Structure 1
Amino acid sequence: MTVRPYVPQDRERVLELFESDRLPGRPAVTDSMLGHVLAGCCPGDAAASLLEEPRTDVAVDRSGEVVGGIGWAVRAQGSDGLLLWLHCVEDDQMIAGVLVRHMLEQAGRRTVHAFQAPTAISFAGLPVRNRRGTAVALEAAGFSRQDGWSYLHHRLDTLRRLPYEVIDITESADPYGWYVRLREKDGTHVGRAVVSQPVEGTAVLEWITLAPQPDGTGHILLQQCLAHLADRGVRELTLLLDTPADHTDHSWGPVRDLHQHAGFHEIDQLHPYIRRP
């Protein structure tokens, strides 16, 4: 196996690698998304200006087929390295290890942050369950797992329609997309939420706050909100909740319980990593 710089002829194969690791609730990877990933930024942000020459390298087997890829850079201000993304065939630990070692050799003696920032195709953090091979390769190379996020997912296309409107939605020009105001039938304000602009029927619940319900039925308010989002074409909704690096206790408290009762399920845990010289 050899590692070489990415060339345009690798585009289709790299897109396939991205697509094979796509989590439920994330939109299909497009050429436009790939362009932003190669540039080291997300659509609409200025992250690329903070990086020194983002690089993409690929791992190639004996037959010449691309079996993995890695994107990395060095911060323009400071000396830290950034492992932006890594994908490989069937999340093969050996291929991931080759790519990680290659990046470390090229980056030199410096602190390296892995999966610290979102890309155009993914949230920040490595999905440590679905990408176990990459997680093991990082840890074998001296990386330590950091606090991250629980990735929750809900399919809304099975929710029943509600007989009356209990939310007001304002479309915003900012990146978040929709500002949601949740109310009772009489107009009483009971909650607010921000939802990203849907892409191919998928959206992100950025945050939500609900008025306290003494009878513990806050999840019903959330379900009402989700049902109306479904009426507006949102088929899948994702959500991130903070989770510590060493979390093993499945008793997550009231916030987690609220979303579980409303129909969300944990797909994975997303964690960034750090390696100090």
Structure 2
Amino acid sequence: MATMTVDYEASMMVRPYAPQDRERVLELIAGDRLPGRPAVTAAMLGHALEGCCLGDPAAGGLEGLRTDVAVDGTGEVVGVSCWAVREQDGEGLLLWLHCVEDDQRIAGVLVGHILEQAGRRTVQAFETPTAIGFAGLPVRNRRGSAVALEAAGFSRRDGWSYLHHRLGTLRARPYEVIDITECAAPYGWYVRLWEKDGTPFGKAVVSRPVEGTAVLEWITLAPESDGTGHVLLEQCLAHLADRDVRELVVLLDIPADIPGHSWGPARDLHQRAGFHEIDHLYTYTRRP
């Protein structure tokens, strides 16, 4: 298949991904890794190349799936992107993209190549989770890619606040007040918690830990009026730490236009329990 040379970056070209690119692509992905996320393995990359999503081992609903790499004048792979067309509505999907130091020029080359291939159709970027990451682009840690998307006409949509907690700072619980069972959707643990006297105080769903890291999918705690909800959350986290969960991530909804937004009690609850905001994850849309 023919390669593409970009006019404003004449020394760079885009070509189809090849098996020999695997190790270099894994390096690029590792460079964008956020705290609390497991390292992407060759097997995970293989699933991503097939269009698979997190928690869904089967690909489906995509056509024309392809992965391309950007190569500089020395032959070094400096960027990679994966895109497809959604069968349901014919819209283009930029599934994932990584590049050297998140260089805006490299990201711009890959985005421009995708738009050229997509033609006159709406393109959604980072809209869905993949086998190697969450939906949404981390705009603080990957500013170059965000700028490249916006320069190409993409508009930011609603997203998520990415919060992270290192559970090693929590003290072990002196008594057992937790019950964990397997659940299939999402694939992980269903957690129920009780006080020492048997009174239930919370339920949660946590993704199955990978390399000691997990995602808090949702949690509900007993109503409290004295502002101690974070203490109950800390107890839940401490029991997870007892089960070798070392790092935990949670995603909280945020709007695209942050100024003037009231974060509400959820974010305050998590921060008081020891979570720290790492980034904002946003999806993007470009209409023809």
Q: Does the CA contact (< 8 Å) of 1:72 and 1:84 recur in 2?
A: yes
Instruction: Name 2:121's counterpart in structure 1.
Output: 110
Match of 2:191 among 176, 180, 185: 180
Instruction: Name 1:72's counterpart in structure 2.
Output: 83
CA distance, structure 1, for counterparts of residue 15 and residue 114 of structure 2: 11
Match of 1:89 among 74, 81, 100: 100
Q: Relative to 1, partners in 2 of residues 1:250 and 1:259: Cα closer, same or farther, differing over 3 Å? A: farther
| C-alpha displacement of 1:190 | 1.1
CA distance, structure 1, for counterparts of residue 253 and residue 185 of structure 2: 24
Question: Which TM-score applies when normalising by structure 1?
Answer: 0.97
Q: Relative to 1, partners in 2 of residues 1:250 and 1:158: Cα closer, same or farther, differing over 3 Å? A: farther
Q: Relative to 1, partners in 2 of residues 1:257 and 1:44: Cα closer, same or farther, differing over 3 Å? A: closer
| C-alpha displacement of 1:121 | 1.4
Instruction: Name 1:261's counterpart in structure 2.
Output: 272
| C-alpha displacement of 1:46 | 6.7
Instruction: Name 2:7's counterpart in structure 1.
Output: none
CA distance, structure 2, for counterparts of residue 202 and residue 192 of structure 1: 19
**What secondary structure is seen at the aligned counterpart in 1 of 2:181?**
strand
Does residue 41 in structure 1 map to residue 52 in structure 2? yes
Range moving further from structure 2, 95-104 or 169-178 = 169-178
Tell me the percent identity. Answer: 78
| C-alpha displacement of 1:252 | 1.7
Q: Please show how residues 12-161 of structure 1 align to structure 2 within 5 Å.
A: 12-42=23-53, 45=56, 48-161=59-172
Range moving further from structure 2, 243-252 or 65-74 = 243-252
Range moving further from structure 2, 17-26 or 245-254 = 245-254
Give the letter aligned to residue 144 of structure 1.
S
Match of 1:227 among 220, 238, 253: 238
Q: Does the CA contact (< 8 Å) of 1:4 and 1:59 recur in 2?
A: yes
CA distance, structure 2, for counterparts of residue 253 and residue 174 of structure 1: 27
Does residue 206 in structure 1 map to residue 211 in structure 2? no
Question: Which TM-score applies when normalising by structure 2?
Answer: 0.93
Instruction: Name 2:228's counterpart in structure 1.
Output: 217
Structure 2: gaps (5+ residues): 1-11
Q: Relative to 1, partners in 2 of residues 1:174 and 1:110: Cα closer, same or farther, differing over 3 Å? A: closer
Does residue 191 in structure 1 map to residue 202 in structure 2? yes
CA distance, structure 2, for counterparts of residue 41 and residue 214 of structure 1: 44
| C-alpha displacement of 1:164 | 1.3
Q: How many residues were matched structurally?
A: 277
Give the letter aligned to residue 62 of structure 2.
L
CA distance, structure 2, for counterparts of residue 253 and residue 173 of structure 1: 30
| C-alpha displacement of 1:162 | 1.6
Give the letter aligned to residue 41 of structure 1.
C
Q: Does the CA contact (< 8 Å) of 2:54 and 2:129 recur in 1?
A: no
**What secondary structure is seen at the aligned counterpart in 2 of 1:177?**
strand
CA distance, structure 1, for counterparts of residue 114 and residue 18 of structure 2: 17
**What secondary structure is seen at the aligned counterpart in 2 of 1:48?**
coil
Q: Does the CA contact (< 8 Å) of 1:197 and 1:203 recur in 2?
A: yes
| C-alpha displacement of 1:78 | 2.2
Give the letter aligned to residue 112 of structure 2.
R
| C-alpha displacement of 1:69 | 0.5
Q: Relative to 1, partners in 2 of residues 1:61 and 1:34: Cα closer, same or farther, differing over 3 Å? A: same
Give the letter aligned to residue 205 of structure 2.
V
Q: Relative to 1, partners in 2 of residues 1:267 and 1:41: Cα closer, same or farther, differing over 3 Å? A: same
Give the letter aligned to residue 24 of structure 1.
P
